[in-house]
A and B are shown apart, each in its own frame.
Chain A
Amino acid sequence: MAGVLVWAETQRGEPKKIAYEVAGAGITLAKRLGVPAAAVIINGGNAADELKKLGFSTIYDVQGGPFESYSSEGYAEALAFAGESFGATVFLTGATALGRDLAARLAARLDAALATDVTEILYETQPLRAIRPVYSGKLLAEVELLGEQKVISLRPNVFSAAEEGEEEAEIVSISPPDPDIRARVQQALQAAEGVLDVTEADIIVSGGRGVGGPEGFKIIENLAKTMGAAVGASRVAVDEGWIPYQHQVGQTGKVISPVLYIACGISGAIQHFAGMGSSKFIIAINKDPDAPIMRKADFAIVGDLFKVLPILREELSRVLQN
């Protein structure tokens, strides 16, 4: 028997957006391989109900004591356990903070082939191949997964979400044997209310040195609020202390694939591009028509961000209100 097993990541009992994306890829892969797809939900409240019509044959629901908070060791054990009952040959997670952590521990535990932060699965290849960005996105590696078992983590915002159908999955409660958990979460600290994470947002408005200071970031935040976007930043803006590190996009910050990236007062250094080069659309606003970002943007505005952004925001809020 063989099958594709998906970790459907949840937060406070709700499936995260990435859960639908991983489901989409997993179900597509299973169809091509002619095998069933199943999902594992760990400490996910009633999330199984929300995902049962996506096309999985089975949803394994893991609840209780050792799984009440995330742990690499406990979750890897739960996935390995579900994988064994299901006969999983391919395991999929999102390449989120926890998904990356889990995929690696699981692959090591199973001595499986691992491909992380994958942006494309070459569904027809045998053995299976996947594409992942390397060298800060300057190149793409085609990786062949030779092991009998394979673990793949998928970059968020890249794969199409699974859609609901008619068939309902069978929901099975399982209790993995008590795992040996040593690294334990003591406390979860939330970012400030209403602050969207750059890795999860569809739109990002980002500021760099051109924003001039923490005051200047207000104008970036205002536009972001109007658009329901997250706020990003270049390393210069972070190193100057204008905005916390969690907002940094790039080589030493976060790697993101939003639908729209709006770079304001950012020159587009290679290390910044490493983080946002796979955005679907890029808008750049820069005084300097020769800044590197201007050659990479789909829409490049030559101008002063302090003059252009307020007008743009007004126009947008007018359009978005209708």
Chain B
Amino acid sequence: MNVAVVMKQVPDTEAAVRVDSANPASIVEDDVKFVLNPYDEYAVEEALTIAENSGGEVIGVCIGPPRSETTIRSVLAMGVARAVLITDPMAVEADVITQGKIFAAVMREMDLSLVLCGREVIDTQEDALAPAIAEALNYPHVLNAGKITVEGDRVTVIRDVEGGSLEIEAPLPAVISCQKGLNDPRYPTLIAIRRAKRKELKTVTLADLGIDLKTPNSRIVALHTPPPRAAGVIAEGEPEDVAAQCMKWLAEEAKLV
């Protein structure tokens, strides 16, 4: 059973992101460290386990600038067999629904049972790519999987919702986004890292895919830095005193009691 896993390179969570004054829709990338989107680690691990158990291949797919290659190599080192990268700036800048169609165009040529991705990308936080790919391929989708069980040509997923969880069953092929808690992602061995350098990483263009992008449906026109939170009150002293001050603040400033 072949599994495609989509993954993206994003700024490290510690990174201090700054808006680029020359292009206010972008961030300054100079001293940003880029890593694999944290949720995608769960998708990769799950894809590898499912392919190992059923005999099949895991193929990585990414839309991103050329720098994405380092991240893709790290995923190849985890055990992904080969990868496809689309670097056209039009594709990288495209809205999430359009990206779904681009991924679908790549995947249509593959004999897939499952497409896995992370719950969301931590940079633009769209939380929408899985349904976009699913709709474009006419597959069902399930989001935020905390547990995935494949049996024959069906998959059962447990996903969280407010106040509980849902057990959802779907026929394969399907698209599933992966949540923390699904598994413990493996670390690549040194040998695997070396071997990953020789694995196939194919760059395809929108022209190769026969896609001609029109104007996007949505786009980021500017990024803004949120106003910093105003400095607050600092209370020090005996527990009785600080508790009393806190009560006074709750009543008079926050007006909550």
A interface residues, Cβ below 8 angstroms from B: 70, 72-73, 96-98, 100-101, 103-105, 107-109, 111-117, 129, 131-147, 150, 182-191, 195-197, 199-200, 203, 245-246, 248, 251-253, 259-260, 270-271, 274, 277, 281-283, 289, 294-304, 307-308, 311-312, 315-316, 319-320
Check B256–A116 contact: CB distance below 8 A: no
CA gap between A203 and B27 in the complex, in Å: 34
**For the complex, is B53 an interface residue (Cβ under 8 Å from A)?**
no
Give the nearest-CB partner of A278 in chain B. B226
Assess whether A251 is in contact with B240, with CB atoms less than 8 Å apart. Answer: no
Q: How far is the CA of A252 from the CA of B226 in the complex (A)?
A: 21
Q: Which residues of B contact A319 (CB under 8 A)?
A: 247, 251, 257
Q: Which residues of A contact B223 (CB under 8 A)?
A: 134, 139-142
5 closest residue pairs by CB, A with B: A108-B135, A104-B128, A147-B217, A182-B140, A183-B140
Name the one of B131, B159, B219, B240 contacting A108, with C-beta atoms under 8 angstroms. Answer: B131
Taking CB atoms, residues of chain B closer than 8 Å to A185 are 166-168
CB <8 Å contact, A108 and B132: yes
Could you tell me the distance between the alpha carbons of A200 and B235 in the complex, rounded to whole angstroms?
A: 29
CA distance A138 to B222 in the complex (A): 14
The residue in A114, A196, A203, A271 that gathers the most chain B C-beta atoms within 10 A of its C-beta is: A114
Q: A97-B162, A259-B256 are in contact. Are A183 and B180 (CB under 8 A)?
A: no
Does A251 contact B122, Cβ atoms closer than 8 Å? yes
Whole-angstrom distance between the alpha carbons of A112 and B216 in the complex?
10
Q: Are A141 and B124 in contact (CB under 8 A)?
A: yes
Shortest Cβ distance from B160 into chain A, in angstroms? 6
* Contacting residues, chain B, for A191 (C-beta < 8 A): 163-164
8 residue pairs of the A-B complex, CB under 8 angstroms, read A111-B217, A135-B123, A135-B125, A143-B221, A189-B166, A298-B254, A303-B235, A308-B243
Smallest CB separation, B175 vs chain A (Å):
10
**Cβ-defined partner of B13 (8 Å) among A183, A251, A299, A320:** A251
**What distance in Å separates the Cβ of B91 from its nearest Cβ neighbour in chain A?**
17
Question: B197-229: which have CB < 8 Å to A?
Answer: 215-226, 229
> Chain A nearest CB: distance from B60 CB in Å?
21
Q: Which residues of B contact A200 (CB under 8 A)?
A: 162-163
Measured in the bound complex, the distance between the Cα atoms of B224 and A191 in whole Å is 38
Once the chains bind, are B169 and A186 in contact (CB under 8 Å)? yes
- Determine which residue in A133, A135, A145, A260 has the highest number of CB atoms from chain B within 10 A of its CB, and name it: A135
Q: Are A183 and B141 in contact (CB under 8 A)?
A: yes
Proximity string of chain B (141-165) to chain A, C-beta cutoff 8 Å, 1 when within and 0 when not: 1111010000000001011111111
- CB neighbours of A107 from chain B (8 A): 97, 128, 132
Question: Does residue B55 face the partner (Cβ distance < 8 Å to A)?
Answer: no
CB of B233 within 8 A of CB of A298, answer: yes
* Cβ distance B17 to chain A, nearest Cβ, rounded Å: 5
Q: Which residues of B contact A (CB under 8 A)?
A: 11, 13-14, 16-17, 19, 27, 38-39, 95-97, 100, 122-128, 130-132, 134-136, 139-144, 146, 156, 158-171, 174, 180-181, 215-226, 229-237, 239-240, 242-244, 246-247, 249, 251, 253-254, 256-257
Residue ID in chain A nearest B219 by CB atoms: A144
* Residue in B97, B142, B233 whose Cβ sees the most chain A Cβ within 10 Å: B97
- Extra 7 A-B pairs, beta carbons < 8 Å, given A134-B123, A144-B220: A136-B125, A146-B216, A147-B218, A183-B142, A251-B13, A251-B38, A271-B13
**Contact call B239/A307, Cβ cutoff below 8 A:** yes
Q: Which of B162, B163, B169, B237 has the most CB of A within 10 A?
A: B162
Closest to B220 in A: A141
Which of chain A's residues have a CB closer than 8 A to the CB of B143?
97, 100-101
Q: For B247, what are the chain A residues with a Cβ–Cβ distance below 8 Å?
A: 312, 315-316, 319
Q: Is the CB of A252 within 8 A of B257?
A: no
The one of B128, B168, B231 in contact with A186, judged by C-beta atoms closer than 8 angstroms, is B168
Output the residue of B39, B123, B124, B140 with the most chain A CB within 10 A: B140
Contacts of A253 in B (CB 8 A): 180
Residue contact B156 to A114, C-beta cutoff 8 Å: no
Name B39's contact: one of A132, A140, A252 (CB within 8 Å).
Answer: A252
Option from B13, B170, B217, B232 in Cβ contact (under 8 Å) with A270? B13
Which chain A positions have C-beta within 8 A of B216? 146
**B163 lies within 8 A of A197 (CB):** yes
**Docked CA distance A134–B232 (Å):** 25
Contact B224 A302 (CB under 8 A): no
Which residue of chain A has its CB nearest to the CB of B124? A134
Q: Is the CB of B17 within 8 A of A184?
A: no
Whether A134 pairs with B14 at a CB distance below 8 angstroms is: no
Question: Distance in Å from the Cβ of A154 to the closest Cβ of chain B?
Answer: 13
